[in-house]
Structure 1
Amino acid sequence: MDTTLRLRIEKALIRGVWDDGISLPQSSSVETAKKVVEGQFRDVLTSSEARKLFQIHSNDFDRRFDEIYDSFTSPKGDPTERELLHLSFAVACFHSFIQANWTGPDLDLKPLEVITGDGAEKILSNDFVNHKAVTELSCGGEPAYHLASVPIFLRLTQILLSLPYQYLETIQWWRLRFALVHQQVLDEPVADSSLLSAPLESLESVFSSEPDLLGQLYLEHGRLYHIYSQDKSAAEYFVKAARATGLEYELTGALGKRTKFQQTELSQLVLLAESRLSDDVNRPSITSSLDQTAGFPSATESSGLPKTLLLNDDTLLEQTEFTSSHPASATSRLTHINFQNQPPLHPIDQCIFLALCLNVKNTSPSHGLTGEQMTPYVARVISDPCNWSIHTMALLLRSRLESSRTRTVERSTLQLQALIDQMPTSDSSLSERLRYFHSIPLPSKWEIEKELALRFLSLGVVKSALEIFERLEMWEEVVKCWISMEHPEKGIVIIRDLLEGRKSEADVVVARGKASSEFRQRIQDTSREAKLWCFLGDLEPENAIEYYERAWSVSNQSSGRSMRALGGYYFARGNYSEAITCLKRAVAINPLLARTWFILGCACMRMEDWEGARNAFSRCVALDEDDGESWSNLASMYLRLGAETKPGSEGNITKRDNEALVYGGESAQSIPFANKMQAFRALKQGLRYSYENWRMWYNYMIVAMDVGELNEACRALGRVVEVTSEKVGAQSVDEDVLDRLVEAVTRIPADEGDSVNSDTPANPNEGYWLSKSVNNLFERILLPRVSSPRVFRSYGRLLTWQGKWEQAIKAYLDAYRNGVAGTMEKGETDVKRWREGVQEVEEIVDILRNFGPRAEDYKWRLQARSIVRTFAGRTKDFEDEPDWQRLEGLLEELRKE
């Protein structure tokens, strides 16, 4: 086959639209590919070629599908034709599974119409084949959803795509698409490093001249990172997709109203967007069904799109009513766009917006701003309906956003129900539904129904939620419903009945009637049975160890959940060595769960396995970058790893207030500087996500001082005081650190700032640049919040260095008034305290003698005599003390002066 023709066919399969430039009739592989693109899956998979490819013999019924089809019977001849035919059959199976479980309408094809062979119809059944496929689709100890429709087609897709391909350019792309769907069928995502590390250069070069395909490639690769919760990488690919398609967009503000009775115009978020791709989409004609005041399709539309329910609220408008037609920002790149009548978007660009919207959700905290940021993205897509699947996804996102607001929760729930009801219908073509399916995170039918049940649960409609969960056979959620109704014993009964055979899941019932017990035992889905034992362990803590170990045994040591649960059980009870053993098994099976790595790291810390803890926390922050606690622990491990620990010593880390870590002394000096810098960087990163954690700020301050990052230490000290000063007052200030900062400033010439110009390199850790930060620390943070003699004296030294004599005197006087001498009252009998006060009096007099003459028109002698007389008058009870003569001598000297 000609290379150009083959590539055009591959692109047609990827796009989901047939290329009219491909002349027919061609070979059988070309005709098959065309039927696949047009959604004629029944014709393709029941053809003589497909039946020959998927034939099975009676002696193969007890073998795995990949063993049965280890060498497909393929047509002889051109190898390119053979590979293209295999890919076409794979895509037909793949999209049949997606049609049955995601997009609808109902599939008119049964597994045994595809899988044929001698005696197959007598021994096999559709349900038996599907159950066997579900078992084989389990991966990494995570079971596949057992009620998925026609899972055999997904299993055949997996087998076909795993064949060796030498000529097809897009096979890696189809493997990526398969992974995106497969991960959604599993209970928890399972890492596939081969896909994440697979190079895209070859595909990028092939589609470099096709911006729509290049954008789709980046978008789908970003979706894979999104599934694995690697949000930073996912965001990078979403942005690359926007650049590839040339999408121009800007989130800006404009004056508008959101309620019917609003009088004052307020700034509202709006998304301006313009596509650069040529829009060849036949958009539905919905003008006649639009609510002209709202601008949204109504619920009665017959345009082949999902029903878009109106809000019909007595206060809120259907959408924001803008009072101007252009953004308020004069620097906007898209000022030519009227956001009340924006140009239509290409469907790929709409998919990019939905992906960016999800990334806003992932990278923002759970508060109102998240919804406010996401709403403009969703509204921009909903206002421009062009494709069934994209519009469904946009409505689903809007439903999620509205679920937490009292005025919109009703529309949110009804819209979710409407989306479920429209799945089996044929209101739009299958090819339209599938065309952009891989570019959006559209959930499966059972996931949407589960979401509806959870919505009912949040509204207190527990019985309706329970009915849905029982129908979906999601037993963990069923148990949670019974627990919420204060009947946990009923949940335990359900799990025990399932395990002991008194209650059976749907496909197990079918399998029991179709095969002997010995054969059924051999193919029983051990992953799901292990999951049930884990449920029982969660519900009965007194027997948890027995049940978790039983789950581990039943699954042939492949149940990551059992080891996660058992490791957590041991950790909570202080058995850290056993916890480490279990958790290491768990992360070996599924290394994508950051929480498991975190508990493993904590267990290693308790066992003083610093290397193991460092590795565990490193994996935590790689999986969940915004986990500030893991960053803090990782920094602690860097410091412990480098310290020379003496026998019987805990190491270089001590405790402050039971939680704040401090290190110092000889052990701190033994830590390599490289380790200290690693700890500094880890704490700096973690503080981006734990800004209110004063303990992390304190640790950061100490490490920053040690590595010479004095400006950061100054910032950290200020943050600690801001957070803790209301509770502990002057104790919030680490006065040793403060003194070191002042010393670092005052040991350089005070006139250095006069020589600083634009050509002088800025070093924030010394001299003029550091003095600005330290001065700001005193004036903005410390002095308004705390009153401490040592703080005032430090400030006085800084002012003295600056030559501000009168202000320096005032600072030292404030220190005196807050010290021992300034706070002594009549009648005190503590001689030691009085002697300290005498020394402070002498010190403040010396300061007045030294600085007073330098302050213009400052009456320092009068001030000094007044201080001595006042202190002497309040402490006359100590006249018999020898040190009393010091006060009298000082007063006499001042009189003579």
Structure 2
Amino acid sequence: MVEGISNSSPGVTQRIPFCYVIYVPTIPALRKEFAELLVSCGLIGEAIKIFEDLELWDNLIYCNCLLGKKAAAVELIKARLSEKPNDPRLWCSLGDVTNNDACYEKALEVSNDKSARAKRSLARSAYNRGEYETSKILWEAAMALNSLYPDGWFALGAAALKARDVEKALDGFTRAVQLDPDNGEAWNNIACLHMIKKKSKEAFIAFKEALKFKRNSWQLWENYSHVALDVGNIGQALEAVQTVLNMTNNKRIDTELLERIVLDLEGRTSIIESESCRTTHNLNRTNNTCAKDLPVESVHVSSPEESIMGRSRENEHLMEFLGKILQQVVRSESSADMWGLYARWLKCKGDLTMCSEALLKQVRSYQGSDLWKDRDRFKRFSYASLELCKVYTEISSSSGSRRELFAAEMHLKNVLKQAEGFADMEEFRDLQACLDEVKTKLQSGPVAT
């Protein structure tokens, strides 16, 4: 198109009807766009000729800098300054090339403190020197002159965050996403700031926006999982945990978060079971009354029961989802804490045999030469041992077998024998009490067939 401007063929009579068909910019604007296209393709030399012909000095200076010809760029700027000494853009360009803050200050002087570009450049220099408070003030002044600059609001938020001004940082990042809603990094920073302020609902919404543009960041998914759990959305938290596991090949495991989820679901299960028992009892009483005093047609299922059934189904679905994640983890991660969580999940599901196997693996994970020297490790070991023996006792009570009781007795005796150095600890006394209870059950229990 640019080359065709000066061609004599086709003639004007053939060209002129097409001027009503499409929008054609002015010739200088078209040539400038062509030169910028050349720069993007790496044809800097060709672009320089066009910029020089159009007297687009900023673009010409930029091209010289790209070619590494800083001396030529400085010479060009000084030549222009000799003609226009009060042009703040030229002073800013000289500051960019020489990396000299004095040039930006001169630009502010000749512009009567109205050069937004100079203030932005000074703000960046202050940030790079670690003067975050100064950078924040300069960014505020720059954005007051030109507020329609998304990168500037983001930079203001970053400087304010470094200066520990959370409110100003939040305002900066919020203004950035108002101008550029696709800025995933800004959404992420907004979410993190809301987390700092303990505003989980706002953080949850911001993280959802950030994940639209940064779905490949496992750190973002991990933060999202914590906030989702804080707002009570266990399903979203589990989905985020599974995404993190898949993205990191099961290497990034947040045990504390999984423990919170297990604890939450255990509590929900307990509440639903107790409410279900109360509702069933009340329903039976109502049915008995209805059977005596009212026609059969008037008896119907109460809405509280429907509500409990709905919550029960939801809880069941979440438990299944959690189970898939825990199974995925224990197949690749054999830490004691994960075996403990897996055992708790199996117990909620009612599978006591598999639960005892998981607890046994947890106990074995704690064992080692360091166990009998580390009091904290012994605490965790003794807790796992007690849980294992409780499950053994439950299995024995339900099946009538004494084999599990003998296994519990043998385990407790071995532990107490080796843990004599911890005799002053409460955990040691708990193990002793558990052993006495197991012995009592063995003496009074049925004979195994």
- Verify same fold: TM over 0.5: yes
1:594 aligns with 2:150: yes
1:806 aligns with 2:353: yes
In structure 1, the residue matched to 2:392 is: 848
Q: Residues 464, 711 of structure 1: CA spacing in aligned structure 2 closer, same or farther, 3 A cutoff?
A: same
In structure 1, the residue matched to 2:75 is: 493
Any idea what SS the aligned residue of 1:787 has?
Answer: coil
1:713 aligns with 2:237: yes
Once the 2 structures are TM-superposed, how far is the Cα of residue 538 of structure 1 from its aligned partner?
A: 1.4
CA distance in structure 2 between the partners assigned to 1:585 and 1:633 by the alignment: 22
In structure 2, the residue matched to 1:25 is: none
Once the 2 structures are TM-superposed, how far is the Cα of residue 850 of structure 1 from its aligned partner?
A: 0.9
Once the 2 structures are TM-superposed, how far is the Cα of residue 432 of structure 1 from its aligned partner?
A: 1.7
1:830 aligns with 2:373: yes
1:748 aligns with 2:290: no
| Letter of the structure 1 residue corresponding to residue 75 of structure 2 | V
Q: Residues 491, 808 of structure 1: CA spacing in aligned structure 2 closer, same or farther, 3 A cutoff?
A: same
Contact 1:453–1:469 (CA under 8 A) maintained in structure 2: no
Deviations 1:563-598 (A, max 9, x none): 221222222223334323332333233322211001
| Letter of the structure 2 residue corresponding to residue 684 of structure 1 | K
Once the 2 structures are TM-superposed, how far is the Cα of residue 687 of structure 1 from its aligned partner?
A: 1.9
In structure 2, the residue matched to 1:449 is: 35
CA distance in structure 1 between the partners assigned to 2:244 and 2:268 by the alignment: 21
Counterpart among 299, 315, 320 of residue 775 in structure 1: 320
1:796 aligns with 2:343: yes
Any idea what SS the aligned residue of 1:748 has?
Answer: helix
| Letter of the structure 1 residue corresponding to residue 93 of structure 2 | F
The within-5 A match list for 1:496-511 is: 496-501=78-83
Q: Residues 471, 726 of structure 1: CA spacing in aligned structure 2 closer, same or farther, 3 A cutoff?
A: farther
CA distance in structure 2 between the partners assigned to 1:498 and 1:763 by the alignment: 80
Q: Residues 761, 448 of structure 1: CA spacing in aligned structure 2 closer, same or farther, 3 A cutoff?
A: farther
Once the 2 structures are TM-superposed, how far is the Cα of residue 690 of structure 1 from its aligned partner?
A: 2.0
Contact 1:533–1:551 (CA under 8 A) maintained in structure 2: yes
The within-5 A match list for 1:291-690 is: 419-425=1-7, 427=10, 428-437=14-23, 444-455=30-41, 457=42, 462-501=44-83, 529-541=87-99, 543-544=100-101, 546-638=102-194, 653=196, 668=198, 675-690=199-214
Once the 2 structures are TM-superposed, how far is the Cα of residue 447 of structure 1 from its aligned partner?
A: 0.7
| Letter of the structure 2 residue corresponding to residue 810 of structure 1 | E
Structure 2's unaligned 5+ residue stretches are: 277-300
Once the 2 structures are TM-superposed, how far is the Cα of residue 703 of structure 1 from its aligned partner?
A: 3.1
Q: How many residues align?
A: 401
Q: Residues 633, 574 of structure 1: CA spacing in aligned structure 2 closer, same or farther, 3 A cutoff?
A: same
Q: Residues 595, 774 of structure 1: CA spacing in aligned structure 2 closer, same or farther, 3 A cutoff?
A: farther
Contact 2:150–2:179 (CA under 8 A) maintained in structure 1: yes
| Letter of the structure 1 residue corresponding to residue 351 of structure 2 | K
Q: Residues 864, 638 of structure 1: CA spacing in aligned structure 2 closer, same or farther, 3 A cutoff?
A: closer
In structure 2, the residue matched to 1:699 is: 223
Deviations 1:191-243 (A, max 9, x none): xxxxxxxxxxxxxxxxxxxxxxxxxxxxxxxxxxxxxxxxxxxxxxxxxxxxx
Any idea what SS the aligned residue of 2:212 has?
Answer: coil
Once the 2 structures are TM-superposed, how far is the Cα of residue 607 of structure 1 from its aligned partner?
A: 4.1
CA distance in structure 1 between the partners assigned to 2:153 and 2:389 by the alignment: 61
Deviations 1:726-746 (A, max 9, x none): 55x545653453344333442
Once the 2 structures are TM-superposed, how far is the Cα of residue 483 of structure 1 from its aligned partner?
A: 4.1
CA distance in structure 2 between the partners assigned to 1:565 and 1:539 by the alignment: 12
Once the 2 structures are TM-superposed, how far is the Cα of residue 808 of structure 1 from its aligned partner?
A: 2.9
Contact 2:127–2:159 (CA under 8 A) maintained in structure 1: yes
Once the 2 structures are TM-superposed, how far is the Cα of residue 879 of structure 1 from its aligned partner?
A: 6.2
Contact 2:360–2:388 (CA under 8 A) maintained in structure 1: yes
> What's the TM-score, normalizing by structure 2?
0.73
| Letter of the structure 2 residue corresponding to residue 590 of structure 1 | N
The within-5 A match list for 1:756-767 is: 767=312
CA distance in structure 2 between the partners assigned to 1:573 and 1:453 by the alignment: 32
In structure 1, the residue matched to 2:293 is: none
CA distance in structure 1 between the partners assigned to 2:317 and 2:306 by the alignment: 16
CA distance in structure 2 between the partners assigned to 1:847 and 1:607 by the alignment: 54
Contact 1:531–1:551 (CA under 8 A) maintained in structure 2: yes
Q: Which is helix-richer, 1 or 2?
A: 2
Structure 1's unaligned 5+ residue stretches are: 1-418, 502-520, 640-652, 654-662, 669-674
In structure 2, the residue matched to 1:787 is: 334
CA distance in structure 2 between the partners assigned to 1:430 and 1:732 by the alignment: 73
Q: Residues 609, 801 of structure 1: CA spacing in aligned structure 2 closer, same or farther, 3 A cutoff?
A: same
Once the 2 structures are TM-superposed, how far is the Cα of residue 621 of structure 1 from its aligned partner?
A: 0.9
CA distance in structure 1 between the partners assigned to 2:188 and 2:360 by the alignment: 40
CA distance in structure 1 between the partners assigned to 2:336 and 2:88 by the alignment: 65
CA distance in structure 2 between the partners assigned to 1:836 and 1:797 by the alignment: 15
In structure 2, the residue matched to 1:385 is: none
| Letter of the structure 2 residue corresponding to residue 809 of structure 1 | S
CA distance in structure 2 between the partners assigned to 1:681 and 1:761 by the alignment: 28
CA distance in structure 2 between the partners assigned to 1:792 and 1:855 by the alignment: 24
Deviations 1:604-637 (A, max 9, x none): 3344444433332221111222222211322344
| Letter of the structure 2 residue corresponding to residue 718 of structure 1 | Q
CA distance in structure 2 between the partners assigned to 1:773 and 1:881 by the alignment: 40
Contact 2:393–2:404 (CA under 8 A) maintained in structure 1: yes
| Letter of the structure 1 residue corresponding to residue 368 of structure 2 | M
Once the 2 structures are TM-superposed, how far is the Cα of residue 463 of structure 1 from its aligned partner?
A: 3.8
CA distance in structure 1 between the partners assigned to 2:408 and 2:354 by the alignment: 16
Q: Residues 763, 422 of structure 1: CA spacing in aligned structure 2 closer, same or farther, 3 A cutoff?
A: farther
Larger relative contact order (C-alpha < 8 A, sep ≥ 6)? Answer: 1
Deviations 1:692-739 (A, max 9, x none): 334433433333333333332333333444445755x54565345334
| Letter of the structure 2 residue corresponding to residue 850 of structure 1 | E
CA distance in structure 2 between the partners assigned to 1:817 and 1:845 by the alignment: 14
Contact 1:750–1:802 (CA under 8 A) maintained in structure 2: no
Deviations 1:494-527 (A, max 9, x none): 22222234xxxxxxxxxxxxxxxxxxx7xx9x6x
Contact 1:725–1:785 (CA under 8 A) maintained in structure 2: no
> What's the TM-score, normalizing by structure 1?
0.39
| Letter of the structure 1 residue corresponding to residue 22 of structure 2 | Y
Contact 1:720–1:732 (CA under 8 A) maintained in structure 2: no
Contact 1:533–1:550 (CA under 8 A) maintained in structure 2: yes
Contact 1:806–1:852 (CA under 8 A) maintained in structure 2: no
In structure 1, the residue matched to 2:294 is: none
CA distance in structure 1 between the partners assigned to 2:324 and 2:342 by the alignment: 9
CA distance in structure 2 between the partners assigned to 1:585 and 1:876 by the alignment: 73
Contact 1:598–1:620 (CA under 8 A) maintained in structure 2: yes
